[in-house]
Chain A
């Protein structure tokens, strides 16, 4: 089995938390627009800190994803023609590429715009939503890795409940 070192799994957690914070920031932006724009208020501070976490998390996550992809193919006894026979690994390869694109987008947009990314709806909706999509993909990919290695995952009841079939 192609196994990443444990250190490579941190970005999965970071990006999943970034997705949760993106959802919270999106809700705060819509519901408390005035308060998050008022410097010095507690809500503005929390909003700003979450925004920074999402930005820094995207950068760390992007680097971690690249390391994860490289180490995923490093197992000499597990060549590519065997890896692609396994549906879970096919899912991980395909959606890792999509996640890389998503967090590359997030990094570029946030770097260019700074916290002005949260000013216009045409910017903050796509920004928050793609980060949420990327985080959920990372969470599912982590769960699939767990299922491959340990035949179970703490996500199993949730995805059973939603109706997503498990291998």
Chain B
């Protein structure tokens, strides 16, 4: 085999190994429905408390102080659980004694998490705490989200319609880019006399 071919073969095989390794790393467990309770089946020993009901307004952030104890190692508020997708959440996974845990004791977590409601309606925030040995527990917070307060001229300018601006940009920016690229393309591909 020529040396040239050997180098190319090594490069191609390396890329294939990388490709297979990457594809192999994408695993799915169809039995797991994303909530901790699938694995952490020993419930009732860890403690988890916060407000059980909250009234909020769309776009206005509110803070929940979440306290977990009796051996808790993690507090998680992941997307897909309850109606968590309807909120922007400042911290979705807090480990015991990590930066945001304000309780220095081992096995106890106290954390302030900011939630921003995205849409009106009655929503449920689902929080889980978990530890080794299949220990886990969840807590649901019922949140009633109403519309934004009416803004009058005397209380300040109306809120900026960011989604509206974005929708306009969604048409204008790609159109402007296309125009520029067509000009570049014409300059590059025109036949020279």
Most central of B25, B170, B174, B188 by chain A CB within 10 Å: B188
Q: Which residues of B contact A (CB under 8 A)?
A: 22-23, 25-26, 79-80, 85-86, 88, 90-92, 118-119, 162-163, 166, 169-170, 173-174, 177-178, 181, 184-185, 187-189
B25 touches A6 (CB 8 A): yes
A101 touches B178 (CB 8 A): yes
Given the interface pairs A85-B163, A87-B162, the reply to whether A122 lies near B187 with Cβ below 8 Å is: yes
- A-B pairs, 10 with minimum CB distance: A126-B184, A1-B79, A123-B188, A105-B181, A85-B118, A90-B166, A97-B174, A122-B187, A98-B177, A5-B26
B25 touches A84 (CB 8 A): no
Chain A minimum-CB-distance residue to B190:
A122
Residues on B with beta carbons closer than 8 Å to the beta carbon of A6: 22, 25-26
Summed over the interface, the residue pairs from A and B with CB atoms below 8 Å come to a total of 78
Besides A94-B166, A101-B174, A112-B189, 7 other A-B contacts (C-beta < 8 A): A77-B85, A85-B163, A90-B163, A94-B169, A97-B173, A120-B188, A123-B188
Residues on B with beta carbons closer than 8 Å to the beta carbon of A94: 166, 169-170, 173-174
Q: Which residues of A contact B (CB under 8 A)?
A: 1, 5-7, 10, 77-78, 81-82, 84-87, 90, 93-94, 97-98, 101-102, 105, 108-109, 112-113, 117, 120, 122-123, 126-127, 130, 151
Given the interface pairs A6-B22, A98-B174, A101-B181, the reply to whether A84 lies near B85 with Cβ below 8 Å is: no
Chain B minimum-CB-distance residue to A104:
B181
Partner of A82, one of B25, B119, B174, B181: B119
Given the interface pairs A98-B174, A151-B91, the reply to whether A82 lies near B85 with Cβ below 8 Å is: yes
Chain A minimum-CB-distance residue to B90:
A151
Looking at the assembled complex, report how far the CB atom of B119 sits from the nearest CB atom of chain A, in whole angstroms.
7
B170 touches A97 (CB 8 A): yes
A55 to B188, CA, bound (A): 16
A7 to B26, CA, bound (A): 7
A7 touches B189 (CB 8 A): no
B188 touches A10 (CB 8 A): no
Residues on A with beta carbons closer than 8 Å to the beta carbon of B118: 82, 85-86
Given the interface pairs A82-B85, A90-B163, A98-B174, the reply to whether A109 lies near B188 with Cβ below 8 Å is: yes
Residues on A with beta carbons closer than 8 Å to the beta carbon of B79: 1, 77-78
Given the interface pairs A1-B85, A85-B118, the reply to whether A7 lies near B170 with Cβ below 8 Å is: no
Chain B minimum-CB-distance residue to A2:
B79
A85 to B145, CA, bound (A): 15
A130 touches B184 (CB 8 A): yes
Residues on A with beta carbons closer than 8 Å to the beta carbon of B85: 1, 77-78, 82
A84 touches B163 (CB 8 A): yes
B22 touches A10 (CB 8 A): yes
